[in-house]
Amino acid sequence: MPNRELHENLPWVEKYRPQNLDQVYGQQETIQTIRKFAQDGRIPHLLFYGPPGSGKTSTIIALAREIYGKNYRNMVLELNASDDRGIDIVRDQIKNFASTRQIFSSGFKLVILDEADAMTNTAQNALRRIIEKYTKNTRFCILANYAHKINPALMSRCTRFRFSPLAISAIEERVDTVIKEEKLKIEKPAEKCLVALSKGDMRKALNVLQACAAALDKPEDTISVDMIYECVGAPRPKSIEVILNAIMERDWTDSYSVMNKIRKTEGLALIDLIEGFMDILAKYELKPLTRIKMIQGLGDIEYGISKGGSDKIQSTAVIGCIKNALENEA
Ligand SMILES: Nc1ncnc2c1ncn2[C@@H]1O[C@H](COP(=O)(O)OP(=O)(O)O)[C@@H](O)[C@H]1O
Ligand SMILES: [Mg+2]
């Protein structure tokens, strides 16, 4: 059965995409409200914003399925603002779509515009005019990661919904289901670790799980904590601790070589290392001023990295900043 095979080869984020609004976890209030809009037949233009993997695309597609059923393909246009080359193409596609006569059903057509915050300001202004032009028979749903990247004029034409990162329990429940469906073996701590590292991003959780499953030598092998860390590319807490302790207790040369060695073998980015330090610093007993100095220093370095500072200089600065702060303790 070729169809079945196709299904088997799907990425899990697609295979396990919610089929209806009831299967969307977490975003209860949003879902209640938009369902009400749909029942009353009075859908406004919508803006969904919030972090990746929180269910924005899934929610609007599920809503559209509820509204249109079999007519989905005639009534819904899905566009990706960041894929398509420029607003002209978007405009043409919307024009073609919105101006074809509806043969099968009445009511509004729906345009879903994903990743709209990737559009330039000019393009967003053009989009606002397009929305106005077709408001008579078309509703727009704009999806974005950041509300502040959406032009205010465009924003004011939409009813806004914020999607929050998903709760640990929601991710855990979904991951559990997938583990059962895929007949995976995974250590309990590995599952906990996967859920924690995905930080509310369901797409990340499912992608990492699938990558780990694919990396098993034999399908009946068990997924371990180490495999999870490897797939996420996140530093292991143990390594972070070893590096921090070396910097605190040993001289410059040793500190530098411990840090470099672990970073090389585990492929750690300096930025992840700094985040890791921040996470575990709470466990260390330090004078308040020492802690403040350390955190301020690490914060500055993090900013320096984001501005494109050299890795070598910034990593040396990390050691310097921690050692400098510790002078207080003496
Ligand atoms: N709230 C949710 N409930 C259930 N599954 C979700 C949820 N959010 C994301 N997912 C899963 O993650 C994948 C990506 O979700 P998507 O809706 O595209 O997120 P976003 O558009 O917010 O980045 C989906 O295919 C689905 O499997
Ligand atoms: Mg999306």
Which helix (H) or strand (E) is 222 found in, with range? Answer: strand 222-223
Note whether 265 and 285 are within 8 A (CB): no
* Listed residue (123, 119, 128) closest to 149, CA to CA: 119
Q: Record the tokens describing residue 242, joined without a space.
A: 């070893």
Q: Cα–chain-centroid distance for residue 251?
A: 40
89 pLDDT above the threshold of 70: yes
Residues with a CB atom less than 6 Å from ligand 1: 13, 16-18, 24-27, 52-58, 166, 174, 202-203, 206
Give the residues across from 138 on adjacent strands: 109
Q: What is the mean pLDDT of residues 36-46?
A: 92
CATH code of 2-162, in short, is 3.40.50.300
The one-character DSSP state at 71 is G
Least confidently predicted of 22-26, 56-60, 234-238: 234-238
Note the pLDDT tens digit of each residue in 126-173: 899 999 999 988 999 999 999 999 999 999 999 999 999 999 999 999
Q: What pLDDT does 9 receive?
A: 76
260 pLDDT above the threshold of 90: yes
Protein residue closest via CA to atom 7 of ligand 1:
55
Q: What pLDDT does 168 receive?
A: 95
Note the pLDDT tens digit of each residue in 3-39: 445 556 789 999 999 999 999 998 999 999 999 999 9
Report, at the CATH architecture level, how domain 237-329 is classified. Up-down Bundle (1.20)
Which helix (H) or strand (E) is 152 found in, with range? Answer: helix 152-155
What's the 202 CA to ligand 1 centre distance in angstroms?
A: 6
Fold adopted by 168-232: Helicase, Ruva Protein; domain 3 (1.10.8)
Q: Which residues of 64-91 are buried (b: 16+ CB within 10 A; e: fewer)?
A: bbbbbeebeeebbbebebeeeeebeebb
Give the residue range(s) of CATH 1.10.8.60 domains in the chain. 168-232
Give the residue range(s) of CATH 1.20.272.10 domains in the chain. 237-329
